[in-house]
A = this chain, B = another copy of it.
């Protein structure tokens, strides 16, 4: 069987990492790179020995030398480019967020299904050793019922002008949250602000509510003095901290919690609550580059060897929350209910 031929559209900041990882995969070859800045495309093509250079996404989609189109352009271009690639019968891998609206995300899923091509979304963090370990701990029942998911992703980052901080950074946290919780949220609340002449919101707080008191919260900020990337998951049995800034021991499992024993007294200051503060455990994590693991999964899915871990529906679920958050933000923070559509979670 011949190798999978990959065309990459957009080789600005993130695209070259995809070129490198696909080029490194033994069952792939990157055949085309495209960028509206031809010099940039040529430079990357030279560095990674890619034979063909293109300017437009259409050139890549319509190339006979391409089986998979990777779209690494600004998010407002994703829908049109992905439509074109799907129409050309190509598999597609789209950077996060999948599109800029639920409607277009749903439409892409439909089109891919009808065409019989795969639609994958680059939620890279789901392929880190850390997040996969979190997922495994939850699946294994080590955490018990999930009480809350709290994620902070802040630093002095680049102010974007085409998207706000919510659409730029929160897809990471929302995709992790959705991957770990695997439930449909009830509603979303969001507030944010644009400071110092920033054209878009540079700080935002996002709350996602699920039934049974499960609470998700995300703080994203481009204008923070220190880099913090920390996710806390509280559960009935154990609590998790995933600190991505730590050089080692990124995931810590705390055997801490409380349980209520007996009825709550009516007038006492404190009820019969028993606290548990036990050991902490930092499991060894798979240290492979997340993007390499993702590329492996995408290639295997195209080859029919395994399921896509982040398919179009997963991408759509994230867009749906982002869209609701944006609506809440625009409406001054009012809760926005989520349509309980039939977005089956892959179990």
Shortest Cβ gap from A241 to chain B (Å):
6
Residues of B within 8 A of A248 (CB): 226-227, 280
Q: Find out whether the CB atom of A223 lies under 8 angstroms from the CB atom of B258.
A: yes
CA distance A256 to B257 in the complex (A): 29
Q: Find out whether the CB atom of A195 lies under 8 angstroms from the CB atom of B213.
A: yes
Q: Find out whether the CB atom of A283 lies under 8 angstroms from the CB atom of B279.
A: yes
What is the interface of chain A, defined by CB distance below 8 A to chain B? 74, 145, 147-148, 150, 152, 156, 158-162, 189, 191-199, 203, 205, 207, 209, 213-215, 217, 219, 221, 223-227, 232, 234, 236, 239-241, 245, 247-249, 252, 254-260, 264-265, 268-271, 273, 275, 277-284, 332-335
Q: Find out whether the CB atom of B269 lies under 8 angstroms from the CB atom of A278.
A: no
Q: Find out whether the CB atom of B199 lies under 8 angstroms from the CB atom of A271.
A: yes
Q: Find out whether the CB atom of A225 lies under 8 angstroms from the CB atom of B239.
A: yes
CA distance A282 to B209 in the complex (A): 33
Shortest Cβ gap from A152 to chain B (Å):
8
By beta carbon, the residue of chain B nearest A206 is B205
Identical chains in the assembly: 4
> Contact check: which of B161, B214, B279 meets A269 at CB < 8 Å?
B161
Interface centre among A192, A195, A198 (most CB of B within 10 A): A195
Residues of B within 8 A of A254 (CB): 225-226
Knowing that A150-B219, A158-B275, A225-B234 touch, tell me 14 more A-B residue pairs with CB under 8 angstroms: A145-B196, A156-B275, A156-B277, A161-B269, A162-B269, A189-B333, A191-B215, A193-B215, A194-B213, A199-B264, A225-B241, A225-B256, A333-B334, A334-B334
Given contacts A193-B147, A277-B284, contact A264 B219 (CB under 8 A): no
CA distance A226 to B239 in the complex (A): 9
By beta carbon, the residue of chain B nearest A335 is B333
List 22 A–B pairs whose Cβ atoms lie within 8 Å, in order of A's numbering. Answer: A148-B203, A150-B219, A152-B152, A156-B275, A158-B273, A161-B264, A192-B215, A195-B234, A196-B236, A199-B264, A207-B333, A221-B234, A223-B234, A224-B234, A225-B232, A225-B239, A225-B252, A225-B256, A226-B254, A247-B247, A279-B284, A333-B333
Q: Which 8 A-B pairs have the closest CB atoms?
A: A225-B254, A225-B239, A197-B260, A280-B282, A147-B195, A193-B213, A193-B215, A199-B264
By beta carbon, the residue of chain B nearest A236 is B196
Interface centre among A159, A189, A199, A234 (most CB of B within 10 A): A234
CA distance A161 to B199 in the complex (A): 45
Residues of B within 8 A of A194 (CB): 213
Q: Find out whether the CB atom of A191 lies under 8 angstroms from the CB atom of B189.
A: yes
Shortest Cβ gap from A137 to chain B (Å):
13
Residues of B within 8 A of A241 (CB): 225-226
Residues of B within 8 A of A249 (CB): 280
